[in-house]
Amino acid sequence: MLNKIIGILIIILLQNLLAEEYGLAEVLKMAEANNKTIQLARADLKTAAAEVKGAYSAALPKLDVNLGYNRNFKESKFFFTVTDTSGREITQSFRTSFTNQYQANAVLRQTLLSLQVGYGIQAARYFRRLSEENFEFTRQQVLAQTKIAFYQTLLLKEVLLVAQDSESSAKDNYENIKVKFESGIVSEFDLLQAEVRWQNSIPETFQAAQQYELALNNLKVLVGFPLEQPMPLRGAIDQFPALPETPGFEAVTAQRPDYNALVWQKKLQEKNVSAQKADRFPVLEGVLQYNYTAASDAFRFDNENDNYFLGLSLSIPLFSGGRTSAQIRKARADLDRANTRIAEADDNIRIQLANLQLRMKEARERISAANKAAFSARRAFEIAETRVDNGLSTQVELKDSRVALDRAQLNYYSAIFDYLRAYFEWELATGKVE
């Protein structure tokens, strides 16, 4: 039984050692391939492509073929009177129908002139460009969320390491105080304080581990990674990019896919106004038609007759009950809303860029201050440990110095994460998420 348990532990250890580590590049690649939101956006691209094909189909010829068969159950005759050479009137008849009648009709239609078709094709192209910009913005949004989730997981991993280190330190201190107590060097009060500090650190470690696992699971769901599989991450949160310079407003709007989507939405609405006006213009259509009929008392094609027709069809709208005018007013209102959304986006982008710059600068200042505080707190804790070992300090002072060290370390990592979050949001705001 013992050998079996040891074998299982060895297998688990080897799995952990051989498990592939996932850096930010690998995680982003998984998100782009597996994220459900991106997959839905790709489906919208297919819809836009179908819209373009549908618009072009309106300009292509249309061929309809109709086949028919009729079975007559009553004989029809036509009677007429004729006079023979002797002057006698003779009534004669001939059949006007047969038992089986066959019909075939083929109609080929080609639109020759239609403003609606032309505007429909252009509108479909605009809709496809609009869908492409929306897809790119969705993709960048997901990648930015993935970056934030990745580094948030690394942050909580560091929080867990700090908690584990604090628990290990408290345990070592307790064991050291216990030896001194048994030797009569320290009092029972010091021993109890050391034990309380160690026991209090244990649930904090459990909580940190739980938060880390929750963050890791959220990251797995975001990138489409199986929850039951281990996902060790490769990366360090204390490595971060330099403070970027904000490009010009025109350069930002030229790169932001969500802003470009608004521009294409405006163009689409402009084309929609023209398309609604086109309903007032005539439509010219060419028609080529072929008709074939046959009739027989048996199941064969007798008494055949066929002919061809070539003609033009001109449809002129004269009165629509005010519907066309109403549709034009509605299209113009939609265009006004599109213009307003662009103007609103201009203001929001300017404010967003300014706020993100402030957040990044403030976070960089906190990183520098927290780094210095963490260094000083580490040194203060080392001194407190030495003082406790020499009997020059109490457990309360040691606990306070450890709390200060933990807080300083967490403040340092939190400041880095705040900077990274603002940086990734800045990438999204400038349309540079990769």
Reduce the DSSP state of residue 433 to 3 states and report it. coil
CATH classification at residue 162: 1.20.1600.10
What pLDDT was estimated at residue 19? 56
* Last residue in a domain, options 290, 316, 342: 316
What pLDDT was estimated at residue 15? 47
Range of lowest pLDDT (207-211, 239-243, 287-291): 239-243
Both tokens of 60, joined, read 């292509």
Asked if residue 145 belongs to a domain, the reply is yes
Helices 323-389 & 257-278 angle (0-180, nearest 10): 170
* Last residue in a domain, options 300, 316, 332: 316
Do 176 and 289 fall into the same domain? no
Do 139 and 196 fall into the same domain? yes
Range of lowest pLDDT (328-332, 343-347, 383-387): 383-387
d(CA 241, CA 421): 12
Cβ atoms of 241 and 421 within 8 Å: the answer is no
Q: What percent of the chain has pLDDT above 70?
A: 88
Residues 6+ apart with CB under 8 A from 142: 31, 32, 35, 37, 38, 222
Do 233 and 380 fall into the same domain? yes
Asked if residue 6 belongs to a domain, the reply is no
What pLDDT was estimated at residue 58? 80
396 — pLDDT class (breaks 50, 70, 90): low
Do 80 and 173 fall into the same domain? no
Do 297 and 338 fall into the same domain? no
Asked if residue 11 belongs to a domain, the reply is no
The residue ranking higher by pLDDT, 13 or 75, is: 75
11 — pLDDT class (breaks 50, 70, 90): very low
Report the range out of 55-64, 128-137, 192-201 with the highest average pLDDT: 128-137
Exposed/middle/buried for 271, CB within 10 Å: 0-12, 13-18, 19+? buried
First to last CA, the chain: 53
Range of lowest pLDDT (84-88, 306-310, 315-319, 361-365): 84-88
Do 287 and 240 fall into the same domain? no
Asked if residue 434 belongs to a domain, the reply is no
Read off the pLDDT of each residue in 186-209 and give the average, rounded to a whole number.
85
Cβ atoms of 187 and 181 within 8 Å: the answer is yes
d(CA 418, CA 135): 27
Read off the pLDDT of each residue in 223-244 and give the average, rounded to a whole number.
90
pLDDT in tens, 114-170: 888 888 888 888 889 999 999 999 999 999 999 999 999 999 998 888 888 878 878
Do 310 and 183 fall into the same domain? no
pTM of the model: 0.77
What pLDDT was estimated at residue 166? 79
What pLDDT was estimated at residue 94? 58
The residue ranking higher by pLDDT, 134 or 7, is: 134
Do 184 and 288 fall into the same domain? no
Do 183 and 289 fall into the same domain? no
Asked if residue 405 belongs to a domain, the reply is yes
Do 177 and 40 fall into the same domain? yes
Cβ atoms of 270 and 328 within 8 Å: the answer is no
Residue 2 has pLDDT above 50, yes or no: no
What pLDDT was estimated at residue 1? 39
Asked if residue 2 belongs to a domain, the reply is no
Count of domains observed in the chain: 2
* Last residue in a domain, options 266, 291, 316: 316
Q: What is the mean pLDDT of the chain?
A: 84
361 — pLDDT class (breaks 50, 70, 90): very high
Do 236 and 98 fall into the same domain? no
What pLDDT was estimated at residue 111? 86
d(CA 314, CA 282): 7
d(CA 410, CA 377): 12
192 — pLDDT class (breaks 50, 70, 90): confident
pLDDT in tens, 260-301: 999 999 999 998 898 888 888 898 899 999 999 988 878 888
Residue 93 has pLDDT above 70, yes or no: no
Asked if residue 103 belongs to a domain, the reply is yes
Asked if residue 15 belongs to a domain, the reply is no
Range of lowest pLDDT (77-86, 109-118, 238-247): 77-86
* Host domain of residue 103: 62-112+282-316
Residue 76 has pLDDT above 80, yes or no: no
Cβ atoms of 106 and 64 within 8 Å: the answer is yes
What pLDDT was estimated at residue 95? 64
d(CA 101, CA 68): 8
Do 245 and 355 fall into the same domain? yes
